[in-house]
Structure 1
Amino acid sequence: MMASSDFTLSPETSAGRYHSAGSLAHGGSAADRITISVHADMAELEAEWRALDESSGNSLHQSFDWCAAWTKTHGSELLIVRGAAGREPLFLLPFEIERSRLLRAARLIGSEHSNLNTGLFGAGIGNVPAAELTAALTGGIGRQLRRFADVIVFDRTPRIWRGAPHPLAVLAGIENPNASFQLPLLGTMERTLAQINAKRRRKKMRISERRLAEIGGYDYVIAREAQEAHALLETFFRQKAARFETLGLPDSFREAETRTFFHALIDARAPEPGNLLELNAIRLRGEHAGRIVAVAGLSRKGDHVICQFGSIDEEIAADASPGELLFYRMIERLCAEGVALFDFGIGDQPYKRSWCTVETTLRDIVLPLTFRGRLAAGGFRAIARAKRLVKANETLYAFIQRQRQRRQTSAANADEA
């Protein structure tokens, strides 16, 4: 493990000394300096990290417990950057170093399976002028991290989040090929549905219930015990794998460490009101009693709920749209529990657009730290632009996905040989 190294930017550095526009530390002066430290151990920052977790502006995906589960199951090489003004923490940026033959990239922990990345910022960050924050996040951090990484990549960051500009928006970025989609919850199901054609939505729900009643009815299930949650998660993996195979697409949940990570989230206990992974399902009664026909995994942080994944059993009752019914029941419950935002996550799908009134554009920020990183940064940007063009062409996108599935199947067959 790398030992933590603390340093303060000197007046001679190209980024200069960083000052606040006003009081950053409680009772501090405008001359308070931003001090940056680099750490490799999450535990030494846990108390401060958990305090920053409480802000609704900081993503669940950078929360202490989420990152701890990811690093435990993936053996990540950590590099955590802390910025402070006096004794007041301004930000924590928890990176893992991804190494390839030619490049070392620092990414926020678990970016591969994150719907939203924000880093962690304290309330005092609002007092830092944009130019000085930009300098701290580029030149200040860059001088220390170039020993360990060639490039920093912030994937899937919002320009605006929860109604306010995000601190990372001061950095130049490019639009991510995918947006994310949200539905504000307005206290009651009636008021919430009024945003999205309530009459049509209720009609679809009644049709689903009538079709399920014809085969014995159903129960809406929330896994309260870990054993039941683990079983539902395995059901999701099976259903999703079958769906991907039908579509000729690669299974993004195939890797053992990915599956282990989601199981670890079930066993972790997030601070209330919160839940790192709650499994919800539609379970049949009658002739097919016990059969799970729809599964969804929800993560909650305060008044924000993210749907991490969902699946249906396509062999039975698929015409009853059990997935849509499950969303209805989950949203209905969460309205009553005081949740303000139901987040369908990243990726453009017709069912998301049918439910959501908010589309959040996400950005990717690439900060080169070395000459090799500057060459790679151009490649990252070119790839992002190419992905946007490919996704705009449905025929080409489908062809590329089929090729990915063939490669994945070939690799799986080779592993079994």
Structure 2
Amino acid sequence: MTVASSALDITLHESMAPLEKEWRALEADPINSLHQSYDWCLAWAKTHRNPLAIIRGKRGGKTAFILPLEIVRASMVRSAQFIAARYNNINSGLFSADFRAESNAAEATQISQAITGLLTGKADLVNLQNIPLEWRGEKSPFAALPAIENQNHAFQLPLTEDFQKTIGQLNAKRRRKKFRGQVRKIEATGGFEHFVARSPREKSTLLNLFFEQKAIRFKALGLPNTFQAPETQAFFHLLLEVDGSSLDTPLELHAVRLKGQYEGRIAAIAGLSRKGDHVICQFGSIDESLLPEASPGELLFWLMIERSCEEGAALFDFGLGDQEYKRRWCTVETVQHDILLPISAAGHVASFAQRGVVRTKAVIKGNPQLYSFIQRLRAHADDMPAQATGTDD
């Protein structure tokens, strides 16, 4: 299906394979998010089987953009959203550098109208979440569209080749003192090593251990387990099978493994992605029974950030969600926005409700006691059989 929009030719595609070559060409642009990359989206599509609604725009015969969307049904409303939206830290879409430089407000409006036209009868609402309207010095082609600020912000730490200069942006003296104390406490029991899982077996074993550690942590805090679904776990396992370059990868597992008294035990795990000079922490977990006084999770962040500096990365991204440990590490806070495009009558109602939900969540998150109470309710719902989880927190 095609909608001609001024000089743009915009088409709808229901499979990924025919677009792979031009998709991979667009994803090579450093401004385009890793979460719209071909491998990331393919792993999700294989494990979730939602109908795909991929929007491609061409100008002058050249691919100008690809928006990888899937259609998800919830509460009788069909929403077209970014593939794997719930587990994405940032959604830029895939735009060519020329298109980003030349696009304007009128063209953004034309694109939004074309999308709703193409999806009429297939979806009720286009729900494009977690879009930074400005990212790494460039404006999104969608910046001129009406948007609502998402309740979750993302947090980043700029990196330099010199790790000491990097932590110099923070309270460096206090950080160094804390790091030395962590190392002393662990060395008193035999020491540790920071390692990256390399073999398929080691990757699979470590990821399954992460799921176990995270489940224990969520239960202890009375929070819903967002990694519980088998298809979600299968998605992350598939990402580990992707052959990345020496640095770029959709998912790499780091861990702190103890020696001596706790020989072979894993105290902390983190999953990192990298695209170009942008490193993203996708998830993390700790074994709270192992040396909690040494804060192995914080230690692992120090080690991963130090390694990222050595490997030439320019940005370490802690992802979505406002947690105290992120504020201790980060100097940059990125505001993200949601763009809602109703298609049907049900979509108009859902759009109105979604705006209210986002505003309500922002209020709840500003009240720690209320937020804790709501999380306990969600945790109880998550334990019930056949209970679907939401798309965000």
CA spacing shift, 1:246–1:145, aligned 2, 3 Å: same
Find the counterpart in structure 2 of residue 176 from structure 1: 150
Deviations 1:84-138 (A, max 9, x none): 1111211101110012353111001000111111111111213444232222222
Q: What is the rounded CA distance, in whole Å, between the counterparts of 2:350 and 2:102 in structure 1?
A: 30
In the alignment, is residue 210 of structure 1 matched against residue 206 of structure 2?
A: no
Verify the 8 A CA contact 1:272 1:302 in the aligned structure 2.
no
| Alpha-carbon shift at residue 406 of structure 1 (Å) | 1.5
TM-score (norm 1): 0.90
Moved more, 143-152 or 104-113: 143-152
- Aligned partner of 1:138 in structure 2 is 112
- Find out whether 1:379 has 2:353 as its counterpart: yes
Quote the sequence identity (%). 48
1:255 counterpart (216, 226, 229): 229
Please tell me the residue identity of whatever aligns with 2:123: A
Name whichever of 381-390 and 403-412 sits farther off: 403-412
Letter in 2 for 1:6: T
- Output the amino acid matched with 1:146: T
Match of residue 279 from structure 1: 253
Instruction: Say if 2:108 and 2:141, in contact at 8 Å, map to a contact too.
Output: no
Q: Which of the numbers 94, 97, 106 marks the counterpart of 1:120?
A: 94
1:103 alignment partner AA:
V
Asked if structure 2 preserves the Cα contact closer than 8 Å seen for 1:306 and 1:343, the reply is yes
SS at match of 2:384: helix
What's the secondary structure of 1:168's corresponding residue? coil
In the TM superposition, what whole-angstrom CA distance separates every residue of 1:338-373 from its partner, at most 9, and x where no partner exists? 111100000011110001000001111101112221
Q: Which residue of 2 aligns with 1:28?
A: none
**Structure 1 unaligned residues grouped into runs of 5+:** 10-17, 19-32
Q: What are the Cα deviations for residues 241-287 of structure 1, in whole angstroms up to 9, with x where unaligned?
A: 11111111111111111111111100112355411110000000002
Alignment check: 8 A CA contact 2:3 2:114 kept = no
2:52 paired with 1:78:
yes
Secondary structure, counterpart of 1:84 in structure 2: strand
Query: Is 1:6 aligned with 2:11?
Result: no
Cα distance in 1, alignment partners of residues 370 and 332 from structure 2: 28
Q: 1:338 aligns with which of 299, 307, 312?
A: 312
Partner of 1:27: none
Alignment check: 8 A CA contact 2:152 2:336 kept: yes
Letter in 2 for 1:42: M
Q: Secondary structure at the match of 2:251?
A: strand
1:392-416 CA-to-partner distances (Å, cap 9, x unmatched) read 1111111111111122223389xxx
**Partner deviation per Cα, 1:219-241 (whole Å, 9 max, x = no partner):** 11111222111111111111111
Amino acid at match of 2:124: D
Distance 2:247 2:196 in 1: 16
Structure index of larger Rg: 1
One-letter amino acid matched to 1:133: E
Retained in 2: the 8 A contact 1:65–1:270?
no
Conserved 8 A contact 1:133-1:170: no
Amino acid at match of 1:391: K
Q: Residues 79 and 123 of structure 2 are in contact (CA less than 8 Å); yes or no, is this contact kept in structure 1?
A: yes
Q: What is aligned with 2:340? A: 366
Q: Using the TM superposition, give the Cα deviation of residue 290 of structure 1 relative to its aligned residue in structure 2, in angstroms.
A: 0.2
User: What's the secondary structure of 1:71's corresponding residue?
Assistant: helix
CA separation in 2, counterparts of 1:70 and 1:293? 29
1:55 aligned to which of 29, 45, 51: 29
User: 1:191: how far off?
Assistant: 1.1
What amino acid maps onto 1:61 in structure 2? Answer: H
Distance in structure 1 (CA, Å) of the matches to 2:176 and 2:203: 28
2:380 alignment partner in structure 1: 406
Name the structure 2 match of 1:44: 18
- Kindly indicate whether residue 287 of structure 2 is the aligned counterpart of residue 291 of structure 1: no
Distance in 1 separating the partners of 2:107 and 2:86: 26
Partner of 1:199: 173
Moved more, 332-341 or 125-134: 125-134
- 2:329 aligns with 355
In 1, the alpha carbon distance for the partners of 2:240 and 2:137 equals: 30
The 3-state SS of whatever aligns with 2:316 is strand
Matched, 1:102 2:98: no
Aligned length: 387
Separation of aligned partners in 2, 1:377 and 1:223: 43
Using structure 2 for the length normalisation, give the TM-score: 0.96
Contact 1:118 1:168 in 2 (8 A): no
**Does residue 300 of structure 2 align to residue 326 of structure 1?**
yes
User: What's 2:391 paired with?
Assistant: none
Residue number in structure 2 paired with 1:65: 39
**Structure-2 separation of matches of 1:38 and 1:174:** 26
The one-letter code matched in structure 1 to 2:341 is L
Separation in structure 1 between the aligned mates of residue 88 and residue 53 of structure 2, nearest angstrom: 18
Report the Cα distance in structure 1 between the residues aligned to 2:378 and 2:3, rounded to whole angstroms.
45
Report Cα offsets for 1:181-212 as digits up to 9, x if no partner. Answer: 00011111011011112111111110010000
Distance 1:142 1:376 in 2: 15
Q: In 2 relative to 1, CA 101–196 (structure 1 residues): closer, same or farther, beyond 3 Å?
A: closer
